[in-house]
Structure 1
């Protein structure tokens, strides 16, 4: 496995000349998942708003998958367009159920203590990528494969995520506008991390 800075440098190299498509993809994703959700639920009372919010998140799970996989395809230099963000809806049951189960397991871990929730989240962090590379893999098998890939690497991914904290704070200070550049950078870095996990397992 490479150093955190190496993953970031590789991400920056892949985004050269592609910052616009990364930023626009992030904007589309954010508008649908966050802005539209807030706009719809804002006039509602707390109970109705919470229910609609939950339903909206469920409906957006395939889009969340598509957003992660978008940047994996980018580093693989595949042909991509904004329509690929919605590819998850072609297989929405398998993808939606898998991500929902992952959220459930993370939530259960957080109920007991924050640390178990973080560990489970790290274990399942590669599920979207695994499902992109194996179109037939089932719900639990995808999570198991992610957990297998992450054996011995959870701490490294934790620190890689944490290394973006300063950039996140700066992006928030720009009223979120900076996230349009930061999130492509972050997601591309994570895509490279997955590629190394996968290569290491194949070598092993």
Structure 2
């Protein structure tokens, strides 16, 4: 109450000050997030190689850096589109997130495609399959809760990643009339 009275009187000594941000810390944090994103893409490439019976090795973890800007652009576009759909209500944003969920897999599978082409292809691919993917996500809910224990994460992360890659491969190989990736 006293703080409000002081502020109304024009005394700003009681106004909480914003902490000073260390610019170096922010830059390092952004660099770490980008590096982890690319390593995650590399892990997805590794899982795709395993699921397609190709040679997979430790070096695949760094393959995401080869398509750094494409993945960054794809991620930004997907985030913007989901955010725009979320402005309507939360549910359209969730549906949009499921619609674009296969875009990264499509980009990895077809690196010559641009980000918008991958998003369009994902939207077409997920037509009629968003509910299936939602149920698949729900089936992992218990496992995700168990990842509070780090030793469980070592098993759950590869298990879920390979499952999602196999789901993508099943959708990719499914015959359809309206899905066309230009290769």
- Measured against the shorter chain, the TM-score band is 0.7 to 0.9
**Structure possessing the higher relative contact order (Cα contacts under 8 Å, 6 or more residues apart):** 1
Distance (whole Å) between structure 1 residues aligned to residue 41 and residue 67 of structure 2: 11
**Alignment match, 2:69:** 93
Q: Which runs of 5+ in 1 are unaligned?
A: 1-43
The CA deviation at 1:86 is: 1.1
Distance (whole Å) between structure 2 residues aligned to residue 163 and residue 182 of structure 1: 12
Match of 1:180 among 154, 166, 181: 154
- For the pair 1:56 / 2:29, whether they are aligned, the reply is no
How many residues in Structure 1 have an aligned counterpart in Structure 2?
Answer: 159
**Alignment match, 1:199:** 173
**Alignment match, 1:123:** 99
The CA deviation at 1:123 is: 1.0
Q: Which runs of 5+ in 2 are unaligned?
A: 1-18, 179-183
RMSD of the alignment, in Å? 2.4
Are 2:45 and 2:63, in contact at CA under 8 Å, matched by a contact in 1? no
- Matched position secondary structure for 1:178: helix
Compare the two structures and name the one with the higher helix fraction: 1
Match of 2:164 among 190, 196, 203: 190
The CA deviation at 1:145 is: 0.5
